[in-house]
Homo-oligomer: A and B are copies of this chain.
Amino acid sequence: MFKTEICDIFNIQYPIILGGMIWVGKSDLVAAVSEAGGLGLMGAGGMTIEEIEAECGKVAEKTKKPFGVNIPLVRPDSEDMINAATKSGASVIATSSGSPMKFTRMIQDRGCRVIHVVANVKFAQKSRDAGVDAVAAEGYEAGGHNGHDEITTMALIPQLTSAVNTPVIAAGGIADGRGFVAALALGAKGIQMGTRFLATHEASAHPNYKEAIVRMTDVDTCVTGRTTVGPTRSIRNRLTDMIVNAEREGAKPEALFEMIGEGRSAMACIDGDCDEGSLYCGQIGGAVKKIKSAREIIDDMIAEAKMVIESLNPLISK
């Protein structure tokens, strides 16, 4: 069931992909998602080359199924990161925040597949021209870094699938079978989830962070960083209030950088500081009511998606 082109391209059972999450998406979660029939992508943004090799090695011990690594191309050592991943068993590289032209061919020449993350039609077209295997189209509701254009998943996916033939993976705003079917209806061939997989037993996030997601409501995220690191969505807390106020007063980028400092994301993920750390999280976190295993999430999602499609059928019988 739910076999799409995305399953064929990545040799997976379900077109359900774990978004790469810094600090959070390590070997346990990556292996669990792949083992449950999805595609685990490691969030390598905060890892050294040695850590990437070690974590990939651990995934390969836990599962024989395909997995991948997300590489933010802003990292100056991104080529070394890619090399570390592909030689340590990753068969998929998801590239983001940089040009898809840079490494796509190199990665594919090693027999690996490439996903490039985009947030508007123009970059999807560039990714197609670069020959990527799939684009992950990320809407404004997604957690963590997102595009300056603020295009939402609902508006982005149909415009993008009309513009390019490259298979599209919808990301942002999806946490259950309803969102999965909605994404497929919009023309996506698969989905990517971060926030939903963050609230799992296997995610390497501090328990406080996972609990913050379970407790949050629909209105509890905000976007900061438009003038500095780029728009970033996280759970509202003391830190975001401080940034929002400063931004509203027209604070200059330098002053904002000084105020925020370094390591806010690690502070949340590793130390569990939910007041002063950056709790990257999507708007759909409000729909996450329980910490589950990655397998439960995928199994529940498939069962619910089947019911959703069955419930649509009577609408087209006269």
Determine if A152 and B153 form an interchain contact, defined as CB atoms under 8 angstroms apart. yes
Cβ of A290 under 8 Å from chain B: no
Determine if B178 and A187 form an interchain contact, defined as CB atoms under 8 angstroms apart. yes
Given contacts A141-B154, A152-B141, A159-B218, contact A309 B312 (CB under 8 A): yes
**Shortest Cβ distance from A133 into chain B, in angstroms?**
20
CB-nearest residue of chain B relative to A287? B159
**Shortest Cβ distance from A317 into chain B, in angstroms?**
8
CB-nearest residue of chain B relative to A175? B158
Segment of A68-76, A101-109, A204-212, A278-286 in the binding face: A278-286
Nearest first, the 4 closest Cβ-Cβ pairs linking A and B are A250-B250, A154-B173, A155-B283, A182-B182
Determine if B154 and A179 form an interchain contact, defined as CB atoms under 8 angstroms apart. yes
Cβ of A227 under 8 Å from chain B: yes
Segment of A1-9, A54-62, A84-92, A268-276 in the binding face: A1-9
CB<8 Å pairs between A and B, sample of 11? A140-B152, A152-B153, A158-B175, A158-B176, A158-B178, A178-B185, A179-B186, A181-B312, A184-B315, A309-B313, A312-B312
Q: How many A residues are at the interface, by size bracket?
A: 35 or more
**Shortest Cβ distance from A259 into chain B, in angstroms?**
15
**Shortest Cβ distance from A254 into chain B, in angstroms?**
15
Residues in chain A within 8 A of chain B (CB atoms): 1-4, 120-122, 139-141, 149-156, 158-160, 162, 172-176, 178-179, 181-187, 217-219, 222-223, 227, 248-251, 282-284, 286-287, 305-306, 308-310, 312-313, 315-318
- Docked pose: A121 CA to B305 CA in angstroms: 23
* Complex partner residue of A287 from B2, B162, B306, CB under 8 angstroms: B162
The residues of B that contact A227 with a CB separation of less than 8 Å are 248
Number of copies: 2
Determine if B248 and A120 form an interchain contact, defined as CB atoms under 8 angstroms apart. no
Determine if A3 and B186 form an interchain contact, defined as CB atoms under 8 angstroms apart. no
Determine if B186 and A286 form an interchain contact, defined as CB atoms under 8 angstroms apart. no
**Shortest Cβ distance from A195 into chain B, in angstroms?**
10
Apart from A120-B219, A154-B154, list 12 A-B contacts with CB within 8 A: A140-B150, A140-B152, A150-B222, A151-B218, A151-B283, A152-B172, A152-B283, A155-B173, A158-B175, A159-B218, A182-B185, A306-B316
The residues of B that contact A120 with a CB separation of less than 8 Å are 218-219
- Docked pose: A227 CA to B2 CA in angstroms: 45
The residues of B that contact A309 with a CB separation of less than 8 Å are 185, 309, 312-313, 315-316
The residues of B that contact A141 with a CB separation of less than 8 Å are 140, 151-152, 154-155
Determine if A184 and B218 form an interchain contact, defined as CB atoms under 8 angstroms apart. no
The residues of B that contact A310 with a CB separation of less than 8 Å are 316
* Complex partner residue of A312 from B149, B151, B185, B219, CB under 8 angstroms: B185
